[in-house]
Structure 1
């Protein structure tokens, strides 16, 4: 996994738990999504009140590797790193770490595609997004 320049704190909720008393594995994907949206808002790619019908993103592929369980009350943060920008796709590397110890609890790789929900077609990643992401990541992420 890469160095992360962006972390988003996550509050583990009681409803995130499964019968075994730890966070259900499916919630990790929700945590990843929440952190990616926060990243995009932080970079000005989206606003909190914007309609996603104009320029949206859809999930194309996801892989998660789990190292340790996450528990209720545990302070965690989710890292987001744009690893690669294609013509229409964005590959994100993400991780979940214990906020107190820095220990990595899970890693993930997510591929998203830019999408116009009105025309129901994939679209090229906006040039402005490329510029902002590359500047923030401090390296070229263009494929």
Structure 2
């Protein structure tokens, strides 16, 4: 998890399980979403007082790679990082582990900055770019 400067704890709920007794595959995207929102709050890009329509982002692509089953009671966490900043999109990567570092799943989402009033893509705001670059220590030429 050292590649991830931000980690969010995940509570595995009984309702997250499928008939096989492990976490249902669809729940992993929900865990990634929970961690993504907390990451945005942590960086000051979103506050709990804002409407989600004010965030100005939309998911263009999501992928999950499942490594191991996760069972009820697992003390899990999701590492989140932004690995790429484009002009109007960014790539977020995720890694779900237990407290010992055992990897259960990895994934990524492509996030597009979006104006919900005009329904068009927009450039990543400069303030966001600066906060993300500073937090992730991204090289300027990667932006």
* TM-score normalized by the length of structure 2: 0.94
What residue number does 2:24 align with?
24
The alignment of Structure 1 onto Structure 2 pairs a total of residues equal to 142
Please list every run of at least 4 consecutive aligned residues from structure 1 whose deviation after the TM superposition is greater than 4 angstroms. none
Assess if the C-alpha contact under 8 Å between 1:10 and 1:75 holds in 2. Answer: yes
Q: How many angstroms apart in 1 are the aligned matches of 2:97 and 2:44?
A: 25
Shift of 1:51: 1.4
What residue number does 1:52 align with?
52
What residue number does 2:121 align with?
122
Partner of 1:119, secondary structure, is coil
Q: How many angstroms apart in 2 are the aligned matches of 1:29 and 1:53?
A: 20
Uncovered stretches (5+) of structure 2, i.e. residues with no partner: none
What residue number does 1:66 align with?
66
Q: How many angstroms apart in 2 are the aligned matches of 1:123 and 1:2?
A: 32
**RMSD (CA atoms):** 1.5
Partner of 1:20, secondary structure, is coil
* TM-score normalized by the length of structure 1: 0.94
Uncovered stretches (5+) of structure 1, i.e. residues with no partner: none
Assess if the C-alpha contact under 8 Å between 1:2 and 1:93 holds in 2. Answer: no
Assess if the C-alpha contact under 8 Å between 1:55 and 1:117 holds in 2. Answer: no
Task: Write the mapping of 1:87-98 to structure 2, written as runs, cut at 5 A.
Answer: 87-98=87-98
Shift of 1:2: 7.5
Partner of 1:53, secondary structure, is helix
